[in-house]
């Protein structure tokens, strides 16, 4: 029972972190129709910038400044890269972001090398907030939850209570109409791209100390962010939230319970082979849930796409 509670908390942290990435990605997609493959790379940049800044001025300045730099960088990429490629169609656009992801990874290695960076959570938060059954929850994780929820509320406020938010909201469902209404769509695009990447940057800043700041951090998270927004439904903010939490809990729980496939197979009345080493299915028999945990989201995504191509909450066809 204690393990369940602690897993719920851990899954929440993972899910919210994922949401910070997927919310930006889904905003960008709804506005511009671009699946931004480089999104996780901006997350990585956030972590590295924050590391660099924090090594001079401490963690908190990094938290403030790094996302801004990332956001400005993102806006510039939109202005001078993506907008140019946009005229060639969607596939080149997608491929552009794909190439950008590669380039950013290489640039990060160019400047910071290939080692993991010693990016640490702030001293003031390096204590255990509370413990459940011997398992302690670091204060930093509690802080992560607060930050993510705060950002979510802020985003919600901007989207539903401000004029800019209304325009973006409208563009989620009717991108063409918004353009026809005479809004400066290129500027909105640039802004949304900037804000979206800045959100990814924030995620990087606060996740860097926990999940590690290393050149592979974007790749590790990259495709799972896509999976999240596809499951949630492209262009749906609520979908992104639900899917993020779902995946957060799914992977957390899958990793922490050693359910063996042997029990499942036996439940279905299958006989365990006498000599394991000669059975072609030996690997299935010895499989455990944590082993397949990381691929569960992909299985979920394929199932959803086959049976409900619009995702859980999506209105628009992917």
Partner 1 sequence: MQRFTKIVAAGIVTTSMSVMAGFADTVRIAFVDPLSGPFATTGTNGLAEYEFAAEELVNKKGGVLGGKQFEIVAFDNKMSGKESLIQVQVAIDQGIKFIAQGNSSGIAHAITDAVNKHNRRNPDNRVLFLNYSAVDPALTNEKCNFWHFRFDANADIKMDALTDVMAQNSDLKKVYLIGQDYSFGKAVADAAVRDLTAKRPDVEIVGNELHPIGKVKDFTPYARKIIASGADAMITGNWGADMVGLGKAVIEAGFTGPIYTYYAASNGITRTFGEAGKGSIYLVAEGLQNPPVSERMSTYVDAFNAKYPDHDISQARITNVVEMLAKAIDEAGSDTDVVAIANALEGMTHDSIWGGKVFMRPQDHQAIQNVHVGVHTDEDMRHPLDNSTFGILGTNTVEMAGAESETTCKMDRP
Partner 2 sequence: MNSSNSEKASLPQRNEFWKLVFPWVLTALFLLFLPVIFASNSALTIMNQMAITIIFALAYNMLLGQGGMLSFGHAVYMGVGGFMCVHVMNYVEINSAPLSLPFLPIFGGLFGLGLATLVGTFSTRSAGTVFAMISLGVGELIAACSLIIVAFFGGEEGVSADRTYMRPFFEIEFFTQIEVYYLTSVWLLISALLMYLFSRTPIGRMANAVRDNPERAEFLGYSARWVRYYSFCASGFFCGIAGALFAINFEILTEENLNLATSGSILLVTFLGGVGVFFGPIIGAVLFTLLQTVLGLYTELWQLYLGALFLATVMFFPQGFAGVLVSHAPAARNGRLGSLFIPYVKMAAPSAVCLWSVAGLAELLFHARHAALGEEEMVYFGINMLSTSVIPWTVFGGLAVISFGICRTVAPSVLEAWDKAITPKGMAQ
| Of 204 and 297, CB closest to partner 2 | 297
Among 69, 142, 288, 296, binds partner 1 (CB under 8 A): 288
Cβ contacts of 34 within 8 Å, gap of 6 or more: 28, 82, 90, 93, 94, 97
Question: Taking a C-beta distance cutoff of 8 angstroms, is the pair 202, 113 a contact?
Answer: no
Examine residue 69 and tell whether it contacts partner 2 (CB under 8 A): no
Number of residues that bind partner 1 (CB under 8 A): 44
Report residue 313 as tokens.
């909450």
Per-residue mark of binding to partner 2, 274-303 (x: CB under 8 A): -----xxxxxx--x---xx-xx--xx-xx-
| Residues numbered 197-226 forming contacts with partner 1, rule: CB under 8 A | 210-212, 214-216, 219-221, 224
Among 9, 64, 68, 98, binds partner 2 (CB under 8 A): 98
Examine residue 46 and tell whether it contacts partner 1 (CB under 8 A): no
Q: How far is the CB of 56 from partner 1 (least distance, A)?
A: 18
Examine residue 218 and tell whether it contacts partner 2 (CB under 8 A): no
Q: How far is the CB of 94 from partner 2 (least distance, A)?
A: 7
Interacting residues with partner 2 (CB under 8 A):
35, 81, 84-85, 88, 91-92, 94-96, 98-100, 102-103, 105-107, 109-111, 113, 223, 226-227, 230, 234, 279-284, 287, 291-292, 294-295, 298-299, 301-302, 305-306, 309, 317-318
């Amino acid at each position: 029972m204690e393990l369940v509670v602690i897993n719920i908390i851990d899954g929440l942290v993972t899910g919210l972190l994922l949401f910070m990435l997927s919310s930006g990605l889904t905003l960008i997609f709804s506005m511009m129709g671009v699946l931004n493959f480089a999104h996780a790379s901006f997350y990585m940049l956030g972590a590295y910038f924050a590391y660099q800044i924090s090594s001079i001025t401490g963690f908190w300045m990094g938290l403030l400044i790094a996302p801004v730099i990332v956001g400005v960088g993102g806006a510039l990429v939109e202005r001078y890269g993506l907008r140019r490629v946009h005229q060639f169609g969607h596939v080149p656009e997608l491929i552009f972001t794909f190439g950008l992801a590669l380039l950013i990874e290489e640039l990060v290695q160019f400047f910071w090398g290939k080692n993991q960076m010693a990016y640490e959570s702030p001293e003031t938060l390096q204590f255990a907030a509370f413990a459940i059954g011997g398992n302690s929850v670091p204060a930093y994780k509690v802080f992560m939850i607060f930050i993510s929820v705060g950002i979510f509320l802020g985003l919600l406020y901007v989207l539903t209570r401000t004029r800019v938010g209304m325009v973006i909201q409208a563009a989620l469902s009717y991108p063409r109409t918004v353009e026809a209404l005479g809004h400066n769509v290129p500027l909105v695009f640039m802004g949304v791209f900037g804000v979206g990447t800045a959100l990814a940057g924030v995620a990087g800043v606060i996740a860097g100390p926990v999940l590690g700041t290393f050149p592979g951090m974007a790749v590790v998270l990259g495709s799972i962010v896509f999976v999240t927004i596809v499951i949630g439904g492209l262009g749906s903010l609520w979908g992104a939230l639900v899917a993020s939490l779902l995946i957060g809990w799914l992977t957390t729980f899958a990793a922490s319970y050693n359910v063996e496939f042997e029990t499942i197979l036996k439940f279905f009345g299958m006989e365990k082979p006498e000599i394991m080493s000669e059975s072609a299915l030996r690997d299935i028999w010895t499989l455990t849930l944590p082993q397949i945990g990381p691929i569960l989201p992909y299985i979920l995504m394929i199932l959803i796409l086959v049976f409900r191509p619009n995702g859980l909450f999506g209105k628009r066809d992917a």
